[in-house]
Amino acid sequence: MKKVLITGILGQDGANMAEYLATKDDERLEVYGMMRRTSNANFSNISEIKEHKNFHVVQGDLTDEISINKLVDEIKPDYFINFAANSFVGCSWDMPLQVFDVNTLGVIRCLEAIRKFQPECRFYSAGSSEELGDVDYSPQDIKHPIKPRSPYGASKAAARHIVKVYRESYGLFAIHSILFNHEGIRRGEEFVTRKITKAVARIKLALDIGADFEVLKLGNIHSKRDWSDSEDFVKGVWLMLNQDEPKEYVLSSNETYSVKRFVSEAFSAAGIPGLWSGEGMDEKFRLFQENTVLAEISEEFYRPAEVDLLYGDSNPAREELGWTPEISFDKLVSRMVKNDLRLESGKSPR
């Protein structure tokens, strides 16, 4: 039975990958999910798989070389999938050193452990469209210049280069793909999409009983992103890891939508009729035929440097790997809103 070591197991991507691999009908895999030793760990994302016979939680930390070496030496994984990261772009401005320690040096620690103890292991490093930054053309493919506009994007770009160095210098099967924005029902609450769907759910429940609610406040609602569902992406990552030769790809929906459109879709999915009015900082989303403000712009949530447009070209992954995403933008938003409605009303998620 082949072994898979996954970092970031409590996050969206790590949990989705663990569930996908541990429950595969056509392949028996032993899945090891790495998490840091912490007293306030939230296991909700792996609640459905933590008791599965093929899934095991192990302790490790990307900032601790000894712990990574120990895991790779003891488990001898056939695959090492690195989803652990300081991945909130906004916070990367406040703690750039910590971001690089995890996102860049952490990748080096993983590669060094593989080089020393399990050189046949196939390694995957999760990249980000934030590496591209101020884009030159659209849609963006794997050859697009790297021009990050945040410490987070720069840390991921550096990781991409070091993966290439280890692949070419040591002959490792190591890849770093560009993942465009991907969300889902396991998305962390610090990300704008989950912030939106959670707020919409709370507003919906408040409106239903005539209660007061907190207005949703956002930054640049005109920035455009290429949004997909994480559950589709983990399948694409697995296809990449099982190529004959290491080759890197873009994973994306090949569509782009504004944050403003995401907000509109979220309210629609909750059955709340509304429309945008005003301009600039005075733009507001109001309840249809009423003056009730549901969402508005706040300068507090603007970043020091914004990336206005990200729009991926995943056609090579679709054509060469046979990757076929199944969850549309509308379905993604609807699933997230419905899940948050269940959570906010005290019911079980999903």
Q: Are residues 129 and 181 in the same domain?
A: yes
- Per residue in 105-141, pLDDT (tens digit) is 999 999 999 999 999 999 999 999 999 998 999 999 9
Alpha helices of the chain — where are they, by DSSP H? Answer: 12-22, 65-75, 96-100, 106-117, 151-170, 192-209, 230-241, 259-269, 315-316, 329-344
Does a structural domain hold residue 143? yes
Q: Are residues 99 and 145 in the same domain?
A: yes
Q: Are residues 83 and 212 in the same domain?
A: no
Q: Are residues 80 and 111 in the same domain?
A: yes
Q: Is the peptide bond before 139 cis (omega within 30 degrees of 0)?
A: yes
Q: Are residues 316 and 340 in the same domain?
A: no
Confirm if 307 and 223 have CB atoms less than 8 A apart: yes
Does a structural domain hold residue 238? yes
Does a structural domain hold residue 217? yes
Does a structural domain hold residue 278? yes
| Amino acid 346: pLDDT | 85
Does a structural domain hold residue 349? no
Q: Are residues 109 and 119 in the same domain?
A: yes
DSSP classification of residue 214: P
In the three-class reduction of DSSP (H, G, I as helix; E, B as strand; rest coil), residue 181 is classed as coil
Q: Are residues 101 and 202 in the same domain?
A: no
0.85 surpassed by pTM: yes
Confirm if 203 and 294 have CB atoms less than 8 A apart: yes
Q: Are residues 81 and 214 in the same domain?
A: no
The CATH number given to whatever domain includes residue 18 is 3.40.50.720
Does a structural domain hold residue 330? no
The whole-chain average pLDDT of the chain stands at 94
Q: Are residues 279 and 339 in the same domain?
A: yes
Number of domains present in the structure of the chain: 2
Q: Are residues 22 and 144 in the same domain?
A: yes
- Per residue in 222-276, pLDDT (tens digit) is 999 999 999 999 999 999 999 999 999 999 999 999 999 999 999 999 999 999 9
Does a structural domain hold residue 106? yes
Q: Are residues 211 and 166 in the same domain?
A: no
Does a structural domain hold residue 86? yes
CB contact burial 119-151 (16+ within 10 A = b; e otherwise):
eebbbbbbbbbbbbbebeeebbbbebebebbbb
Let me know the angle formed at the C-alpha of 44 by 180 and 91, rounded to the nearest 5 degrees.
45
Structural domain harbouring 276: 192-222+258-307+335-344
Q: Which candidate, 203, 181, 196, 344, places its Cα nearest to that of 252?
A: 181
Q: Are residues 168 and 315 in the same domain?
A: yes
